[in-house]
């Protein structure tokens, strides 16, 4: 058993941990690839218990309350085919898509979110802006140059930052519909290093809806099209006032 604390700066909604970051803490004890399901808003600034089980699962809890559970998976499958799949998005496409972000998400349900909140700046948060890609219906993308603030000495980001970066972009198609959503499940396969100062594109496609559940897939690639990570996500539609209350 280990004890972990989610710092205030890694919030999603106010007073709640960023879903992708919280999920990454579980994934770290499982290995790669992994799938993590969130069961309750991760609390900030308090000790949480993280336990890896012998059956390839792990749980994150706050006393008797289950926060997240995860499992090892053999693979995370997405459509990263070329030239018509997620990998087709290039830097100029993503950069232009980001300019449409705040218009589509205003008012943003969680403006201080570590991953995508418009009140956060790249020097102290991921601050990803994910918008629709012109001429490619259904595709969304975010440009990203990782900051040295979130990398170890070798210049490569820790896996938890890759998980965090693949959270909010996968919710962008649903925010663009005017839905307030929170992360329910995230599966990630990190396939290569993600390095400070290099240009990356996170490309996203919604893959379906099931009542209040909404599904998406994502690819994190270099601006040359090399896929460094893939993800599948499930988002849960919430009432913002009730969720914050």
Q: Give pLDDT tens digits for 45-96.
A: 999 999 999 999 999 999 999 999 999 999 998 886 654 566 678 899 999 9
CA angle 130–131–135, rounded 5-degree value: 140
Q: How far apart are CA 141 and CA 144, in angstroms?
A: 10
Q: Give the total residue count for the chain.
A: 245
Q: How far apart are CA 150 and CA 125, in angstroms?
A: 9
* Residue 245 CB neighbour total at 10 angstroms: 6
> What's the mean pLDDT when you consider all of the chain?
91
DSSP-assigned letter for residue 134: T
Q: Could you give all domains of the chain from N- to C-terminal order, each with its CATH number?
A: 2-72 (3.10.129.10), 86-244 (3.10.129.10)
Helices (H), 14-55: 19-30
Looking at 52-61, 181-190, 236-245, which range is the least confident one? 236-245
Q: How far apart are CA 184 and CA 170, in angstroms?
A: 11
DSSP-assigned letter for residue 56: S
Per-residue confidence (pLDDT) for residue 192, from 0 to 100: 95
Q: Residue 136 has which token pair?
A: 């490619």
Per-residue confidence (pLDDT) for residue 3, from 0 to 100: 96
Q: Is the pLDDT of residue 245 over 80?
A: no
Q: Is the pLDDT of residue 104 over 80?
A: no
Q: How far apart are CA 37 and CA 233, in angstroms?
A: 10
3-state SS of 72-92 is ECCCCCCCCCCCCCHHHCCHH
What is the side-by-side strand order in the sheet with 131-132?
2-5, 47-52, 57-62, 65-72, 34-38, 181-190, 227-237, 213-222, 200-210, 139-144, 131-132
Q: How far apart are CA 43 and CA 234, in angstroms?
A: 20
Q: Note if the bond before 17 is cis, omega within 30 degrees.
A: no
Predicted structure pTM score: 0.94
pLDDT band for 151, please (50, 70, 90 cuts). Answer: confident
175 or 51: whose pLDDT is higher? 51
Q: Is the pLDDT of residue 244 over 80?
A: no
Q: Is the pLDDT of residue 100 over 70?
A: yes
Looking at 49-53, 107-111, 212-216, which range is the least confident one? 107-111
Looking at 12-16, 59-63, 83-87, 180-184, which range is the least confident one? 83-87
Q: Is the pLDDT of residue 189 over 60?
A: yes
| Closest alpha carbon to 95 in 128, 123, 120 | 128
């Amino acid at each position: 058993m280990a004890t972990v604390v989610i710092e205030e700066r890694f919030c999603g909604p106010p007073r709640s941990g960023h879903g992708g970051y919280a999920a990454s803490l579980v994934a770290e004890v499982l290995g790669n690839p992994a799938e993590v399901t969130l069961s309750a808003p991760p609390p900030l600034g308090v000790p949480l218990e993280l336990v890896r089980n012998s059956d390839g699962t792990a749980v994150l809890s706050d006393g008797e309350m289950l926060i997240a559970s995860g499992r090892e998976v053999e693979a995370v499958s997405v459509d990263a085919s070329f030239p018509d799949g997620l990998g087709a998005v290039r830097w100029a496409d993503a950069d232009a898509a980001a300019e449409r972000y705040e218009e589509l998400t205003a008012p943003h349900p969680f403006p201080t979110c570590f991953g995508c909140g418009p009140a956060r700046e790249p020097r102290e948060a991921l601050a990803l802006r994910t918008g629709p890609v012109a001429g490619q219906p259904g595709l969304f993308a975010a440009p990203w140059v990782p900051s040295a603030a979130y990398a170890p000495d070798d210049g490569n980001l820790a896996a938890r930052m890759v998980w965090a970066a693949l959270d909010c972009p996968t919710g962008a198609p649903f925010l663009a519909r005017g839905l307030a959503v929170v992360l329910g499940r995230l599966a990630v396969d990190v396939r290569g290093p993600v390095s400070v100062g290099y240009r990356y594109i996170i490309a996203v496609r919604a893959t379906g809806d099931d009542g209040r559940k909404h599904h998406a897939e994502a690819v994190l690639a270099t601006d040359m099209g090399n896929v460094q990570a893939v993800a599948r996500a499930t988002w849960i539609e919430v009432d913002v006032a009730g969720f914050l209350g």
